[in-house]
Amino acid sequence: MPASTGPGYDYHDTLIIAHAVFASLAALITAPAAILVARYFRSRTWWFKAHIILQIVTVAFTILLFVLSTVAVASGGHGTQFVGPKKDPHHDLGLSIVILLWVEAIFGVAAHYTHTAHSVTEGTFPTIKAKKSPLRHLHAWYGIFVAGLLYAGIKTGIDEWNMVADSGTLVPRGIEITFWVIFALEIAAYVSGWFLEAFRGGRKSNIIREHSTDAEKDETPSI
Ligand code: HEM
Ligand code: HEM
Protein backbone atom coordinates (compact mmCIF):
# COMPACT_ATOMS: atom_id res chain seq x y z
CA MET A 1 0.00 0.00 0.00
CA PRO A 2 1.48 3.43 -0.96
CA ALA A 3 2.36 5.93 1.77
CA SER A 4 -0.23 7.78 3.81
CA THR A 5 -1.47 11.04 2.20
CA GLY A 6 -3.34 12.75 4.99
CA PRO A 7 -4.37 12.52 8.64
CA GLY A 8 -5.98 9.10 9.07
CA TYR A 9 -6.52 8.39 5.38
CA ASP A 10 -4.04 6.35 3.34
CA TYR A 11 -3.67 6.40 -0.47
CA HIS A 12 -6.60 3.98 -0.99
CA ASP A 13 -9.00 5.90 1.23
CA THR A 14 -8.01 9.28 -0.24
CA LEU A 15 -8.74 8.04 -3.76
CA ILE A 16 -12.05 6.56 -2.63
CA ILE A 17 -13.06 9.88 -1.01
CA ALA A 18 -12.35 11.66 -4.32
CA HIS A 19 -14.31 8.84 -6.04
CA ALA A 20 -17.26 9.42 -3.70
CA VAL A 21 -17.19 13.19 -4.29
CA PHE A 22 -17.38 12.83 -8.11
CA ALA A 23 -20.03 10.11 -7.73
CA SER A 24 -22.12 12.40 -5.53
CA LEU A 25 -21.75 15.35 -7.91
CA ALA A 26 -22.94 13.18 -10.82
CA ALA A 27 -25.75 11.36 -8.99
CA LEU A 28 -27.09 14.20 -6.83
CA ILE A 29 -26.33 17.38 -8.80
CA THR A 30 -25.64 17.24 -12.55
CA ALA A 31 -27.80 14.28 -13.66
CA PRO A 32 -30.90 15.28 -11.62
CA ALA A 33 -30.49 18.94 -12.64
CA ALA A 34 -30.39 17.95 -16.32
CA ILE A 35 -33.47 15.77 -15.91
CA LEU A 36 -35.40 18.47 -14.03
CA VAL A 37 -34.50 20.97 -16.76
CA ALA A 38 -35.98 18.52 -19.31
CA ARG A 39 -39.10 18.09 -17.13
CA TYR A 40 -39.83 21.72 -16.23
CA PHE A 41 -38.32 23.85 -18.99
CA ARG A 42 -39.02 21.94 -22.21
CA SER A 43 -40.96 24.95 -23.50
CA ARG A 44 -37.84 27.18 -23.33
CA THR A 45 -35.45 27.35 -26.24
CA TRP A 46 -32.43 26.83 -23.95
CA TRP A 47 -33.54 23.57 -22.33
CA PHE A 48 -31.65 21.25 -24.65
CA LYS A 49 -28.36 23.14 -24.37
CA ALA A 50 -28.63 23.01 -20.56
CA HIS A 51 -29.58 19.29 -20.62
CA ILE A 52 -26.68 18.30 -22.84
CA ILE A 53 -24.04 20.41 -21.05
CA LEU A 54 -25.07 19.06 -17.63
CA GLN A 55 -25.10 15.48 -18.95
CA ILE A 56 -21.70 15.84 -20.63
CA VAL A 57 -20.39 16.89 -17.20
CA THR A 58 -22.17 13.84 -15.70
CA VAL A 59 -20.40 11.56 -18.20
CA ALA A 60 -17.05 13.24 -17.39
CA PHE A 61 -17.65 12.67 -13.65
CA THR A 62 -18.41 8.98 -14.25
CA ILE A 63 -15.10 8.59 -16.12
CA LEU A 64 -13.26 10.20 -13.18
CA LEU A 65 -15.10 8.20 -10.51
CA PHE A 66 -14.47 4.96 -12.40
CA VAL A 67 -10.73 5.59 -12.85
CA LEU A 68 -10.35 6.65 -9.19
CA SER A 69 -12.16 3.54 -7.92
CA THR A 70 -10.19 1.08 -10.06
CA VAL A 71 -6.85 2.70 -9.11
CA ALA A 72 -7.87 2.60 -5.42
CA VAL A 73 -8.84 -1.07 -5.61
CA ALA A 74 -5.71 -1.96 -7.62
CA SER A 75 -3.54 -0.21 -4.98
CA GLY A 76 -4.40 -3.10 -2.65
CA GLY A 77 -2.64 -5.44 -5.09
CA HIS A 78 -5.80 -7.31 -6.17
CA GLY A 79 -6.42 -5.81 -9.63
CA THR A 80 -10.11 -5.01 -10.09
CA GLN A 81 -12.80 -6.73 -8.03
CA PHE A 82 -15.58 -7.20 -10.57
CA VAL A 83 -15.13 -10.99 -10.57
CA GLY A 84 -13.41 -13.45 -8.25
CA PRO A 85 -13.62 -14.04 -4.50
CA LYS A 86 -13.41 -10.31 -3.59
CA LYS A 87 -16.20 -9.10 -5.89
CA ASP A 88 -19.23 -7.53 -4.23
CA PRO A 89 -22.48 -5.81 -5.25
CA HIS A 90 -21.14 -2.22 -5.14
CA HIS A 91 -18.33 -3.07 -7.55
CA ASP A 92 -20.64 -4.90 -9.99
CA LEU A 93 -23.40 -2.32 -9.68
CA GLY A 94 -20.88 0.52 -10.09
CA LEU A 95 -19.50 -0.94 -13.29
CA SER A 96 -23.04 -1.51 -14.64
CA ILE A 97 -24.10 2.06 -13.79
CA VAL A 98 -21.14 3.55 -15.62
CA ILE A 99 -21.77 1.46 -18.76
CA LEU A 100 -25.55 2.00 -18.72
CA LEU A 101 -25.08 5.77 -18.31
CA TRP A 102 -22.71 5.99 -21.27
CA VAL A 103 -25.22 4.00 -23.37
CA GLU A 104 -27.94 6.44 -22.24
CA ALA A 105 -25.86 9.39 -23.45
CA ILE A 106 -25.54 7.68 -26.87
CA PHE A 107 -29.34 7.15 -26.93
CA GLY A 108 -29.78 10.85 -26.09
CA VAL A 109 -27.60 12.00 -28.99
CA ALA A 110 -29.40 9.57 -31.34
CA ALA A 111 -32.82 10.76 -30.06
CA HIS A 112 -31.85 14.36 -30.75
CA TYR A 113 -31.34 13.56 -34.44
CA THR A 114 -34.76 11.93 -34.88
CA HIS A 115 -37.44 13.86 -36.71
CA THR A 116 -40.98 14.26 -35.38
CA ALA A 117 -43.73 16.09 -37.23
CA HIS A 118 -45.58 18.84 -35.35
CA SER A 119 -48.82 17.46 -33.95
CA VAL A 120 -51.66 18.50 -31.64
CA THR A 121 -52.52 16.41 -28.60
CA GLU A 122 -55.56 16.72 -26.33
CA GLY A 123 -55.57 15.92 -22.63
CA THR A 124 -53.00 15.01 -20.05
CA PHE A 125 -49.36 14.03 -20.50
CA PRO A 126 -48.45 15.45 -23.92
CA THR A 127 -44.89 14.18 -23.37
CA ILE A 128 -46.19 10.62 -23.56
CA LYS A 129 -48.90 11.18 -26.16
CA ALA A 130 -46.80 13.17 -28.64
CA LYS A 131 -46.09 11.33 -31.86
CA LYS A 132 -42.31 11.06 -31.69
CA SER A 133 -39.57 8.56 -32.39
CA PRO A 134 -39.52 5.53 -30.04
CA LEU A 135 -35.89 6.48 -29.40
CA ARG A 136 -37.08 9.62 -27.61
CA HIS A 137 -39.46 7.59 -25.42
CA LEU A 138 -36.69 5.07 -24.79
CA HIS A 139 -34.21 7.78 -23.81
CA ALA A 140 -36.64 9.36 -21.34
CA TRP A 141 -37.75 6.13 -19.57
CA TYR A 142 -34.34 4.51 -19.62
CA GLY A 143 -32.92 7.81 -18.29
CA ILE A 144 -35.21 7.61 -15.25
CA PHE A 145 -33.96 4.05 -14.67
CA VAL A 146 -30.31 5.16 -14.91
CA ALA A 147 -30.95 8.06 -12.51
CA GLY A 148 -32.40 5.52 -10.05
CA LEU A 149 -29.28 3.38 -10.41
CA LEU A 150 -27.08 6.41 -9.69
CA TYR A 151 -28.87 6.89 -6.34
CA ALA A 152 -28.40 3.15 -5.63
CA GLY A 153 -24.69 3.57 -6.40
CA ILE A 154 -24.41 6.21 -3.67
CA LYS A 155 -26.33 4.14 -1.11
CA THR A 156 -24.26 0.98 -1.74
CA GLY A 157 -21.07 3.09 -1.87
CA ILE A 158 -21.76 4.40 1.64
CA ASP A 159 -22.23 0.81 2.88
CA GLU A 160 -19.05 -0.22 1.03
CA TRP A 161 -16.96 2.47 2.73
CA ASN A 162 -18.29 1.37 6.12
CA MET A 163 -17.07 -2.17 5.35
CA VAL A 164 -13.71 -1.68 3.59
CA ALA A 165 -12.18 1.74 4.43
CA ASP A 166 -8.57 1.20 5.60
CA SER A 167 -9.11 3.95 8.19
CA GLY A 168 -11.87 1.86 9.78
CA THR A 169 -14.12 4.95 9.84
CA LEU A 170 -17.83 5.10 9.07
CA VAL A 171 -19.50 7.60 6.72
CA PRO A 172 -20.67 10.43 9.05
CA ARG A 173 -24.38 10.29 9.93
CA GLY A 174 -24.81 13.88 8.66
CA ILE A 175 -23.62 12.91 5.18
CA GLU A 176 -25.99 9.95 5.06
CA ILE A 177 -28.93 12.11 6.18
CA THR A 178 -28.00 14.80 3.63
CA PHE A 179 -28.03 12.13 0.91
CA TRP A 180 -31.55 10.96 1.85
CA VAL A 181 -32.86 14.54 2.10
CA ILE A 182 -31.48 15.48 -1.36
CA PHE A 183 -32.81 12.19 -2.78
CA ALA A 184 -36.31 12.84 -1.39
CA LEU A 185 -36.40 16.47 -2.56
CA GLU A 186 -35.30 15.54 -6.10
CA ILE A 187 -37.81 12.71 -6.44
CA ALA A 188 -40.56 15.01 -5.13
CA ALA A 189 -39.56 17.75 -7.60
CA TYR A 190 -39.55 15.32 -10.53
CA VAL A 191 -42.92 13.73 -9.66
CA SER A 192 -44.40 17.22 -9.18
CA GLY A 193 -43.21 18.06 -12.68
CA TRP A 194 -45.36 15.24 -14.08
CA PHE A 195 -48.38 16.41 -12.06
CA LEU A 196 -47.87 19.91 -13.43
CA GLU A 197 -47.83 18.55 -16.97
CA ALA A 198 -51.03 16.58 -16.32
CA PHE A 199 -52.69 19.70 -14.88
CA ARG A 200 -51.62 21.95 -17.76
CA GLY A 201 -52.32 19.26 -20.38
CA GLY A 202 -55.84 18.71 -19.02
CA ARG A 203 -56.72 22.38 -19.49
CA LYS A 204 -55.87 22.88 -23.16
CA SER A 205 -54.78 21.13 -26.31
CA ASN A 206 -51.06 21.23 -26.88
CA ILE A 207 -49.00 21.82 -29.95
CA ILE A 208 -46.29 19.19 -29.79
CA ARG A 209 -43.26 20.47 -31.57
CA GLU A 210 -40.08 18.75 -32.53
CA HIS A 211 -38.52 18.72 -29.08
CA SER A 212 -34.77 19.23 -28.94
CA THR A 213 -34.46 20.10 -32.60
CA ASP A 214 -37.00 22.97 -32.79
CA ALA A 215 -34.93 25.67 -31.18
CA GLU A 216 -32.09 25.15 -33.61
CA LYS A 217 -34.32 25.30 -36.66
CA ASP A 218 -36.83 28.09 -36.12
CA GLU A 219 -36.31 29.50 -32.61
CA THR A 220 -39.66 28.05 -31.48
CA PRO A 221 -39.52 26.55 -28.00
CA SER A 222 -39.34 22.77 -27.87
CA ILE A 223 -41.25 20.57 -25.42
C1 HEM B 1 -23.03 6.32 -8.65
C2 HEM B 1 -22.15 6.20 -7.71
C3 HEM B 1 -20.97 5.23 -7.69
C4 HEM B 1 -20.45 4.42 -8.66
C5 HEM B 1 -20.94 4.26 -10.11
C6 HEM B 1 -19.33 3.70 -8.09
C7 HEM B 1 -18.52 2.79 -8.75
C8 HEM B 1 -17.56 1.98 -8.16
C9 HEM B 1 -16.81 0.94 -8.82
C10 HEM B 1 -16.93 0.59 -10.30
C11 HEM B 1 -15.99 0.36 -7.89
C12 HEM B 1 -15.10 -0.87 -8.09
C13 HEM B 1 -13.73 -0.64 -8.69
C14 HEM B 1 -12.97 -1.94 -8.91
O15 HEM B 1 -13.39 -3.02 -8.47
O16 HEM B 1 -11.88 -1.86 -9.52
C17 HEM B 1 -16.22 1.05 -6.65
C18 HEM B 1 -15.59 0.74 -5.46
C19 HEM B 1 -15.80 1.41 -4.27
N20 HEM B 1 -16.61 2.51 -4.07
FE21 HEM B 1 -17.88 3.30 -5.41
N22 HEM B 1 -19.20 4.09 -6.77
C23 HEM B 1 -20.17 5.04 -6.49
C24 HEM B 1 -20.36 5.72 -5.30
C25 HEM B 1 -19.61 5.54 -4.16
C26 HEM B 1 -19.75 6.30 -2.93
C27 HEM B 1 -20.72 7.47 -2.74
C28 HEM B 1 -18.85 5.79 -2.04
C29 HEM B 1 -18.55 6.18 -0.60
C30 HEM B 1 -19.29 6.91 0.16
C31 HEM B 1 -18.15 4.71 -2.70
C32 HEM B 1 -17.19 3.92 -2.12
C33 HEM B 1 -16.53 2.86 -2.74
C34 HEM B 1 -15.64 1.95 -2.04
C35 HEM B 1 -15.30 2.00 -0.54
C36 HEM B 1 -15.18 1.03 -3.00
C37 HEM B 1 -14.32 -0.21 -2.76
C38 HEM B 1 -12.87 0.03 -2.62
C39 HEM B 1 -12.19 -1.30 -2.36
O40 HEM B 1 -12.80 -2.37 -2.37
O41 HEM B 1 -10.98 -1.24 -2.13
N42 HEM B 1 -18.63 4.59 -4.00
N43 HEM B 1 -17.17 2.04 -6.82
C1 HEM C 1 -25.27 13.70 -23.19
C2 HEM C 1 -26.13 13.24 -24.00
C3 HEM C 1 -27.65 13.41 -23.89
C4 HEM C 1 -28.45 13.93 -24.88
C5 HEM C 1 -28.01 14.46 -26.23
C6 HEM C 1 -29.82 13.88 -24.38
C7 HEM C 1 -30.94 14.28 -25.09
C8 HEM C 1 -32.24 14.28 -24.65
C9 HEM C 1 -33.41 14.59 -25.44
C10 HEM C 1 -33.40 14.92 -26.93
C11 HEM C 1 -34.49 14.49 -24.62
C12 HEM C 1 -35.95 14.73 -25.03
C13 HEM C 1 -36.60 13.40 -25.37
C14 HEM C 1 -38.05 13.63 -25.74
O15 HEM C 1 -38.29 14.10 -26.84
O16 HEM C 1 -38.94 13.32 -24.92
C17 HEM C 1 -34.02 14.11 -23.30
C18 HEM C 1 -34.83 13.91 -22.20
C19 HEM C 1 -34.42 13.21 -21.08
N20 HEM C 1 -33.13 12.81 -20.78
FE21 HEM C 1 -31.47 13.12 -21.93
N22 HEM C 1 -29.82 13.35 -23.12
C23 HEM C 1 -28.51 13.03 -22.78
C24 HEM C 1 -28.08 12.43 -21.62
C25 HEM C 1 -28.93 11.94 -20.64
C26 HEM C 1 -28.51 11.13 -19.51
C27 HEM C 1 -27.07 10.66 -19.24
C28 HEM C 1 -29.64 10.89 -18.75
C29 HEM C 1 -29.79 10.10 -17.48
C30 HEM C 1 -28.93 10.04 -16.51
C31 HEM C 1 -30.76 11.54 -19.41
C32 HEM C 1 -32.07 11.52 -18.96
C33 HEM C 1 -33.15 12.10 -19.60
C34 HEM C 1 -34.52 12.04 -19.11
C35 HEM C 1 -34.99 11.32 -17.84
C36 HEM C 1 -35.31 12.75 -20.03
C37 HEM C 1 -36.82 12.97 -19.95
C38 HEM C 1 -37.17 13.98 -18.90
C39 HEM C 1 -38.67 14.16 -18.81
O40 HEM C 1 -39.30 14.59 -19.77
O41 HEM C 1 -39.22 13.88 -17.74
N42 HEM C 1 -30.30 12.18 -20.55
N43 HEM C 1 -32.64 13.98 -23.35
Q: What is the pLDDT of residue 8?
A: 82
Ligand nearest to the backbone CA of 62: 1
CA distance 47 to 196: 17
User: Ligand 2 atom 16: the closest Cα is on which residue?
Assistant: 136
Residue whose Cα lies nearest atom 21 of ligand 2: it is: 108
Domains of the chain are 11-218 (1.20.120.1770)
19 Cβ below 6 A of ligand 1? yes
H or E stretch including 119? Answer: strand 119-121
Residue nearest ligand 1's atom 28 by CA:
157
Crossing angle (nearest 10°) for helices 47-74 and 89-112: 150
Q: What's the confidence (pLDDT) of residue 223?
A: 44
| Cα(69) to centroid(ligand 1), Å | 6
CA–CA separation, 82 vs 69, rounded Å? 12
User: Which ligand lies nearest to the CA atom of residue 73 in the structure?
Assistant: 1
pLDDT at position 5 is 46
Report which bound ligand comes closest to the CA of 15. 1
What is the pTM assigned to this prediction? 0.90
Q: From ligand 1's centre to the CA of 17, what distance in Å?
A: 9
Q: Are 66 and 18 in contact (CB under 8 A)?
A: no
Q: Whose CA is nearest to atom 28 of ligand 2?
A: 143
CA geometry: angle at 151 spanning 149 and 154, to 5°? Answer: 110
Per-residue pLDDT at 3:
42
* Nearest ligand 1 atom to alpha carbon 151: 1
Per run of 10 residues, the mean pLDDT along the chain (length 223 residues) is: 59 97 98 97 92 98 98 86 80 97 97 71 73 90 98 98 95 98 98 91 55 54 46
Atom of ligand 1 nearest to the CA of 17: 29
Q: Is 109 in the pocket of ligand 2 (CB under 6 A)?
A: yes
54: Cβ below 6 Å to ligand 1?
no
Query: Separation of 21 CA from ligand 1 center, angstroms?
Result: 11
What long-range pairs does 143-146 form, CB within 8 A, spacing at least 24?
143/35, 143/104, 143/108, 144/35, 145/100, 146/31, 146/97, 146/100, 146/101, 146/104
Residues in a beta bridge with 120: 207
